[in-house]
Chains A and B, each alone.
Chain A
Amino acid sequence: MPTATPSRGFAVRAWLRANTGPLIVVGLLALLPFAVALIDGQPLAEVLANQPGQAKFIQGLMIEVFILAIFALSYDLIFGITGLLSFGHAMFFAVGAYLSGIMIKSFGWSLAPTLGLLAVVAVVQALLFSVVLPRVQGVTFALVTLGIAEVFHIVIQSRELVGYTGADVGLQGVIPPAFLSPAAQRLRFYFVALGLAVLVYLLCRRFVDSPTGRVCIATRENENRALMLGYNTFYFKLTAMIISSLLASLAGFLHMLYQPIVSPGIASLSYTVNALLMVLVGGMGTLSGAPIGAAILRLLTFYFDKWFGQSSGFILGMVYVALVLFLPYGIVGTWKLRRFAWRSGWARLAQPLRPPSRDGERL
């Protein structure tokens, strides 16, 4: 159907209106370090100078959330949008962390060539995961990807490579560039991580709204129907895989910069399950659910550990059970599905509270 092209100014305003919620969240996150300092009674100058305090600590926790958000978004792209269940996604993240860390530490590379190499390797590993796609699907694909990732998990722990990877202790002693030091330049790191997370979100959103992204959704819904329209679905899965691998590697790279030690655990199955959980808690295929899931997972894990100590795992498990029971499609997914029902229910509840209007209904 031919539609009139709206003017640029109108389009911008419409976009702002449609994205009010996320924009407010990003604005609040930008103010968060200062708000924490105000509540804590720390002068704002100290926050700007990266002095230790509650504000710096919260920044650190949120940086981890932003990194996980990028990781979760990359997983939502292949799992939630394209419908590929990969159990090897942690490898994408770990390759990003290990490769960049080793290049900087052992080979003395600077950031730009390291990121360049990382991009190439990310594409190659996406191809490696995808060669099996035309033959295996569903659970079989999950197991094949798990196998590939486990091989990587074992290799980085091997004693032979201890000089590069640190074996089972993990990669340590990587000196991040001074301008992005997680300790001395914490506030700057915070805004870089936040900015990248927002950028990755917008990129994923753009991809999903593109014709290619639509075919990915169609492939997830019913691959045969997509084939019947004349699409070679393999290339669409491959595209999603490559983008996802690039983004997960970026998350891994940030993780390496931020953490003093890169543990081999980030290549394990449980790290993939983390991504899966974050996507499921937020709502699969919604994109906006992924960062929400990342925030919930990281913050709950941290504060439950702090509050409940030993029994935190048990309580976290109960929270997951409750989420699955009451929000079966994740937070964003369930809201999208039920918002009309919830809104009309709320309107009914609110009705008797309204004062009777003067010229309203007559009995």
Chain B
Amino acid sequence: MPDAILEVQEVHTFIGQFHILQGVSVSVPRGGIVVLLGRNGAGKTTTLKTILGLLPPRQGQVIFDGQSVQGRRSFDIAALGIGFVPEHRAIFRSLSVAENLKIAERARGDLDRKADFIFGLFPDLKRLYRLPGNHLSGGQQQMLAVARALVPDNRLLLIDEPSEGLAPIIIEQMMHAIRQLSAESTVLLVEQNFVVASQLAESYVIIEEGRSVQAGLMADLVVDRETIQRYLGAA
């Protein structure tokens, strides 16, 4: 793909002695939303961590915007313009909503510039601005985790399981927000909920037992019941 913002090329990643990723390739075109699909433990989250250098690959490489990130440390990779929303509502619970957002600034004034956009997506956060993170509900924490990744100018957002454990109405809101923010930066999503994934993403990559086994357009996958059955179980 000529204009890919992210190219993950045949990466092999180990956690301790375990060979978790055994050849994962993902190509993310600039703009839009790509989703990583696969069963529990297939290596989706590990793929995200590999991209960010939290688990550096033993083989293969990650190219972000035409530049290999090999050998760079996580904070350098993040500073290239990659925002990460980890799973499980990854906020700083002892900091307030304001501080959680402020701490994500990469340049002075980021938050002031983005405030309208962020509060447009998540009006709740404006109301809760001064509260400590641990006073927020699960859905609000997840919104804050996504909002935090929006504060600096990120060209790529990695979002891990945004719908996990949320009420249907909050999932609706989250999907709406992700759709809107994908207009500003490319999104690579991990999502177990196939209904959510199929409505959000334009293309997909299926990971099975540490290997990327299939990639294509979401429009083709939703009608391919056999593939869904084989790799994702019932859908």
Contact = CB atoms under 8 A, between A and B. Distances in A.
Interface of A: 1-2, 211, 214-215, 217-218, 221-222, 224-225, 227-233, 285
Given A1-B126, A225-B90, A214 B95 contact: yes
A219 to B, nearest CB: 10
B36 to A, nearest CB: 18
A227 B92 contact: no
Given A225-B86, A227-B78, A229-B78, A217 B112 contact: no
Given A224-B54, A225-B86, A231-B75, 13 more contacts: A2-B115, A214-B99, A215-B103, A218-B103, A222-B92, A225-B90, A227-B73, A228-B54, A228-B74, A228-B86, A229-B104, A230-B75, A232-B73
A346 to B, nearest CB: 21
Mostly helix, strand, loop or mixed at chain A's interface? helix
A230 B78 contact: yes
Contacts of A224: 54, 74, 86
A118 to B, nearest CB: 33
19 contacts: A2-B115, A211-B103, A214-B95, A214-B99, A218-B92, A221-B93, A222-B90, A222-B92, A224-B86, A225-B90, A227-B75, A228-B75, A228-B78, A229-B75, A229-B103, A229-B104, A230-B106, A231-B75, A285-B94
A217 B78 contact: no
B178 interface: no
Q: Name the 6 nearest CB pairs between A and B, nearest first.
A: A230-B79, A230-B78, A227-B74, A228-B84, A218-B92, A232-B75
Contact of B98 (A1, A229, A231): A1
A202 B93 CA distance: 24
A230 B74 CA distance: 7
A217 B54 contact: no
Contacts of B52: 228
Contacts of A221: 92-95
A1 B92 contact: no
A63 B209 CA distance: 64
B92 A225 contact: yes
Given A221-B94, A230-B78, A211 B54 contact: no
B120 to A, nearest CB: 13
B102 A214 contact: yes
A1 B115 contact: yes
Residue of B78, B98, B129 ringed by the most chain A CB atoms within 10 A: B78
Nearest to B78: A230
Contact of B95 (A217, A228, A232): A217
Contacts of B74: 224, 227-228
Nearest to A221: B92
Interface in B71-122: 73-76, 78-79, 84, 86, 90, 92-95, 98-99, 102-104, 106, 112, 115, 119
Nearest to B106: A230
Nearest to B96: A214
Nearest to B129: A1
A336 to B, nearest CB: 10
A214 B103 contact: yes
A208 to B, nearest CB: 11
Residue of A225, A228, A232 ringed by the most chain B CB atoms within 10 A: A228
A218 B148 CA distance: 13
Contacts of B94: 217, 221, 285
A262 to B, nearest CB: 38
Contacts of A230: 75-76, 78-79, 106, 152
